[in-house]
Amino acid sequence: MKKAKTCTSKANMIGPRIKAARQAAGMTQKDLCVKLELMAVYICRGSLSRIENGTRTVNDMEIDAISKALNVPLDVLFGR
């Protein structure tokens, strides 16, 4: 039986590190969304907010694009 998600469970583990990297780069959420759109990865600002606070899942293609857009290695986003 699948365990039900609770309101305290997280949908991803890298959201806070994405937020920290974005802020360190001096970018707003909108700035990052625009940069991602230029890479043909469409994440609206609201979705990015949910990624950063851990309530939205983020797929591998999005993680890779975010890493490139922020110019940070994937290892940084995964906390390695």
Largest Cα separation within the chain, whole Å, is 44
Domains recognised in the chain with CATH numbers = 15-71 (1.10.260.40)
Q: What is the pLDDT of residues 17-31, one digit of tens each?
A: 999 999 999 999 999
The pTM of the full predicted model, rounded to 2 decimals, is 0.86
Our CA dihedral for 32, 38, 42, 45, rounded to 10 degrees, sits at 30
Q: What's the confidence (pLDDT) of residue 38?
A: 97
| C-alpha distances out from residue 75 to 34, 36, 62, 79, Å | 23, 19, 15, 6
